[in-house]
Chains A and B, each alone.
Chain A
Amino acid sequence: MDIFEQQAHNRRMTAGILALFVGLFLFLGLGFDFFYGSFNPVPAVNLEYNADGYYESRRPGAAASIPFGTIIALLVGMGMAANSMVNGPSMVLRSCMARRAVSADGKEKQLLNIVAEMATASGLPAPAVYVVPDQDLNAFATGISPANSVIAVTQGLLDTLNREELQAVVAHEMSHIRNYDMRLMTVLAGLIGAVALLSDFAGRTFRYGGRSSSSGGSSSSGSRKGGGGAVVLIFFVVWIILMILAPLLSRMLAMAISRQREYLADASASELTRNPKGLIAALEKIRAAVMPTSAINNGVAHMCITDPRGSLIEEKMGLTADLLATHPPMEKRILALKAMAYQAEHPQQL
């Protein structure tokens, strides 16, 4: 696959996983409202004996068709995420004690130049540049929009990498900004929060509501079960299982998206520099430095070039890495880049 095919593939994967995530959330939320609230998409028709002595069919009021639980969970989750997005960048920079790069220092001047070059290549305004005083090799980008984004690299990265490799790393971070990954991951964080909230609601209602609702709750659901009791029961069992697994599942889906975005950023970085080999060399060096980046908070792990918790999970190729890592294994990333480099050198053999 060449650079552009990989980008298209990654975008499709992201959209697919995101759809799955939204589907999971809706299933959980609407299920919650169906079992515990009064939400019913196909309300049963009540026959009431009216004053004139006839049976009159009445639909339950409009309130019955509004899934309150889902909406509240979504609002709270998104609100928290939006707050983190607005206040996030400055908090992140403060937490890792980053300082502005200055043009007086030779190496930092080079970094500033490289960032300006990558801004030119991507056609975006140049982001602010920060240096994190940490000897490990890492870099991250943050910011709501390309206009006020930030790229930060560690001191170790600045000291170890040559110009070409530094350029590749900056291109990777620039790609995160260009692809609006910060926004995507914020939406994901909001969804994770909403799912966690729903799961919490359900757990409490289950524990405390069990006894009291045996009179009121079950009688109303009893009337629902008149139509297809078995179907509702199966739905309930599936829902309960999903609800228990929800916090884990939502995190796994978010990590899957994060890994796709890493591949996408790698591919976009190669598009910007037209030089996949620079990024290969940089990733090899970063991989060799196995120390965790203690200065960088785990909250921005998905915006880093490699997981700041150290490369323990990333190095494993097995199931755990496929489910729980924010970044794909280095080996796979380097392999994908090598494929791109090969394609670039042998265009006629497509």
Chain B
Amino acid sequence: MTILAIVLLVLGGWVVVTFNGLVKLRNQVQNAFRQIDVQLKRRHDLIPNLVESVRGEMKFEKETLERVIQARAAAVSAGQGGNMNDVLAKEGMLTQALGRLIALTENYPNLKANDSVHKLMEELTHTENQIGFSRQFYNDVVTRFNTDQQVFPTNMFSAMLGFSPATLWELPADSPERENVKVNLAI
């Protein structure tokens, strides 16, 4: 009788600890996802400033600038729509357009010497890195969350406790981000 009670107590304790651990991780996953959102928003806010300050110097790159502006508009509307795959695709396009713009500014010594452009470029690099790292952190947390659910013997109970695996932040198979950025460096 005592042994049974002890076994039940240990089992109950194990379930409680597992459950609490999973809840903690699930909240971390949600928080990490919000962080990506914050960074994407930041990027949207930054782009108009950047485009304005380089427009005068980069008259001959109108097409690239236009593409950045369009990609931003598409990404903002996708973010308001809230469709996950749409957001991924549009943000990917924006990343690519911005990458091309940053690469092209290397051709303009006047821009590089300009202090305010220099600062904006640093801000843009920072935001791009933030997006990358928050995505990386999100994927790390999701991986930990999923692994904790899938290991034996938790895998028998996790669905019963109301947990389901979270999805990794992956690029869609046809994402433009998967392509190599093509930059014509001939001046």
Per the bound structure, the CA–CA distance linking A122 and B138 in Å amounts to 10
Chain A contact residues, majority secondary structure = helix
Contacting residue for A121 out of B115, B123, B137, CB 8 A: B137
- Among A120, A167, A272, max chain B CB count under 10 A is at A120
Once the chains bind, are B134 and A120 in contact (CB under 8 Å)? yes
Tell me if A287 is interfacial: C-beta within 8 Å of chain B.
Answer: no
B residues less than 8 Å from A122 (CB atoms): 137
Once the chains bind, are A117 and B122 in contact (CB under 8 Å)? no
B residues less than 8 Å from A118 (CB atoms): 133
Contacting residue for A113 out of B39, B115, B122, B140, CB 8 A: B122
Tell me if A226 is interfacial: C-beta within 8 Å of chain B.
Answer: no
Tell me if B136 is interfacial: C-beta within 8 Å of chain A.
Answer: yes
Tell me if A274 is interfacial: C-beta within 8 Å of chain B.
Answer: yes
Per the bound structure, the CA–CA distance linking A272 and B132 in Å amounts to 11
Once the chains bind, are A106 and B122 in contact (CB under 8 Å)? yes
Q: Smallest CB-CB separation from A122: which chain B residue?
A: B137
- Among B118, B140, B141, max chain A CB count under 10 A is at B140
Interchain residue pairs A-B with the least CB separation, the first 6? A121-B133, A113-B126, A120-B133, A117-B129, A120-B134, A123-B137
A residues less than 8 Å from B164 (CB atoms): none
Tell me if B119 is interfacial: C-beta within 8 Å of chain A.
Answer: yes
Size bracket of the A interface: 10 to 19
Tell me if B35 is interfacial: C-beta within 8 Å of chain A.
Answer: yes
A residues less than 8 Å from B129 (CB atoms): 113, 117, 167
Q: Smallest CB-CB separation from A109: which chain B residue?
A: B122
Tell me if B105 is interfacial: C-beta within 8 Å of chain A.
Answer: no
Tell me if A163 is interfacial: C-beta within 8 Å of chain B.
Answer: yes
Question: Can you list 30 A-B contacts (CB < 8 A)?
Answer: A106-B115, A106-B119, A109-B122, A110-B126, A113-B125, A113-B129, A114-B126, A116-B126, A116-B130, A117-B130, A117-B133, A118-B133, A120-B35, A120-B39, A120-B130, A120-B133, A120-B134, A121-B133, A121-B134, A121-B136, A121-B137, A122-B137, A123-B32, A123-B137, A123-B140, A123-B141, A163-B125, A167-B129, A272-B133, A274-B136
Per the bound structure, the CA–CA distance linking A113 and B46 in Å amounts to 15
A residues less than 8 Å from B119 (CB atoms): 106, 109
Min Cβ gap B143→A in Å is 12
Per the bound structure, the CA–CA distance linking A118 and B122 in Å amounts to 16
For chain B, residues 27 to 42, give those with C-beta under 8 angstroms from any C-beta of chain A.
28, 32, 35, 39
Per the bound structure, the CA–CA distance linking A121 and B129 in Å amounts to 9
Size bracket of the B interface: 10 to 19
What is the interface of chain B, defined by CB distance below 8 A to chain A? 28, 32, 35, 39, 115, 118-119, 122-123, 125-126, 129-130, 133-134, 136-137, 140-141
Per the bound structure, the CA–CA distance linking A246 and B39 in Å amounts to 53
Per the bound structure, the CA–CA distance linking A118 and B126 in Å amounts to 11
Once the chains bind, are A120 and B125 in contact (CB under 8 Å)? no
Chain B contact residues, majority secondary structure = helix
For chain A, residues 85 to 141, give those with C-beta under 8 angstroms from any C-beta of chain B.
106, 109-110, 113-114, 116-118, 120-123
Min Cβ gap A106→B in Å is 7
B residues less than 8 Å from A121 (CB atoms): 133-134, 136-137
Q: Smallest CB-CB separation from B35: which chain A residue?
A: A120
Min Cβ gap B34→A in Å is 12
Min Cβ gap A162→B in Å is 12
B residues less than 8 Å from A113 (CB atoms): 122-123, 125-126, 129
Min Cβ gap A40→B in Å is 36
Min Cβ gap B56→A in Å is 22
Min Cβ gap A119→B in Å is 9
Min Cβ gap B95→A in Å is 16
Interface string of A284-296 (1 = CB under 8 A from B): 0000000000000
Once the chains bind, are A120 and B122 in contact (CB under 8 Å)? no
Min Cβ gap B35→A in Å is 7
B residues less than 8 Å from A120 (CB atoms): 35, 39, 130, 133-134, 137
B residues less than 8 Å from A117 (CB atoms): 126, 129-130, 133
- Among B28, B35, B119, B130, max chain A CB count under 10 A is at B130
